[in-house]
Amino acid sequence: MTGALAEKVAFGLIAAGLHVLAFAALPGTGAQTQGAGGDGRITLQGATPQIEAMVAAWTAPPETAQPVTLEQPIPPAMETAEPDLAQATPEPIPTRPVPTQPERPTAPSAPDAAQLPLPRPIPTPPMADALALPAPQPDPATMDRPEIAAPSPVLSSRQRSAPTPEAPPAPVTPRAPDLAEARQLPPPPPAPPKPREIAPPKPAQQASAAVQSQQAAGRGGGAQAGNGNRSDRAALSPGQRNSLIAAWGAQITNRIERTKRAPRGLRKGGRVVLRLQVSRAGQLQSVSVRQSSGNAELDAAAIRAVRRAKRFPAAPEGLNKPFYSFSLPVRFND
């Protein structure tokens, strides 16, 4: 394709150059362009054979190269060599002699069935009583015929060994008691009375009963009213009692914190755990160091703070013991 395009371009340039040369060779005077009478303005002249040849070559279609088909070479046929049967015969393989096996002893032949003793016959029990059949009624039409004994039925071994079913016992009907025995029997105990259903009290009745009980507890004697209060205090649960003791211990700790004084020249703080015994009225019974801070001055300052407080808040209502023990921490900062 590239060669054909180059040829077209070359031929085009050559044709254009020839046309330019042809126009340049034409005369340019006005006398030659007037014609025979001087009327024509254009003079026509035929093309030369060279120009015709060039135009024919230009307008002719380019020759396309035809593809060349290459013939593939046919491979030569492979000749298979047939093996020579005479040469390929295998040589005979020598066989080893098979050792003879010793003869096995023949098993003793079973004795003939005729020589074995026959088993003893099992005596069959008489079944006439168990299988007694009703006697057939004589037919008047066959009275003259001789009677033929019917063959006894042959029973299998299972029927012989199976026991004969026993008839079920007849149901025993209870005997009706006599009138004399019925008179002697004691009369049956009376049925217990049905429990009466008690209707639940109405809300108004419950409220009135509560008011009466409150009035009875409040208007009674002083000793009775006091006993009632003690029973209420004694009815506290362990959780309520512990919460009351914790609240009272917090009040005692606040009082000690107010009277606490750190020793002079304290370089390092510490924590002292004190053991206190306080009465219900709030009086200090005893104080001791339960866990030391490691500094004797801090321990002594904590004890002085407790003794400086002197009196603590009284126990809350519900705590009836004469005194209570507390383990309270006292902290000293740097």
In the chain, what percentage of residues exceed pLDDT 90? 5
The reported pLDDT for the residue numbered 273 is 92
pLDDT, tens digit (0-9, with 9 covering 90-100), for 248-274? 999 999 998 888 888 887 777 888 899
**With b meaning 16 or more CB within 10 Å and e meaning fewer, what string describes 159-177?**
eeeeeeeeeeeeeeeeeee
C-alpha–C-alpha distance, residues 137 and 144, integer Å: 14
The reported pLDDT for the residue numbered 101 is 61
Mean pLDDT of 116-121: 63
- Judge whether residue 11 has pLDDT over 50: yes
C-alpha–C-alpha distance, residues 117 and 114, integer Å: 8
Q: Which CATH class is domain 236-332?
A: alpha beta
Side chain identity at residue 259, one-letter code: T
The reported pLDDT for the residue numbered 92 is 60
More confident residue, 236 or 198: 236
DSSP state string for 119-176: PPPPPPPP-TTTTPPPPPPPPGGGSSSPP-PPPPPPPPHHHHHSPPPPPPPPPPPPPP
C-alpha–C-alpha distance, residues 324 and 281, integer Å: 11
Mean pLDDT of 122-151: 54
Q: Nearest CA to 260 among 301, 298, 296, 291? A: 301
Backbone angles phi, psi at 333, to 5 degrees: -90, 165
pTM of the model: 0.32
- Going from N- to C-terminal start, the domains of the chain cover 236-332
pLDDT, tens digit (0-9, with 9 covering 90-100), for 160-185? 555 555 665 565 555 554 554 545 55
C-alpha–C-alpha distance, residues 212 and 216, integer Å: 6
The reported pLDDT for the residue numbered 99 is 57
- Judge whether residue 228 has pLDDT over 50: no
pLDDT, tens digit (0-9, with 9 covering 90-100), for 176-223? 545 545 455 556 666 666 656 555 545 444 434 443 434 434 444 443
**To 10 degrees, what angle do helices 49-59 and 2-25 make?**
150
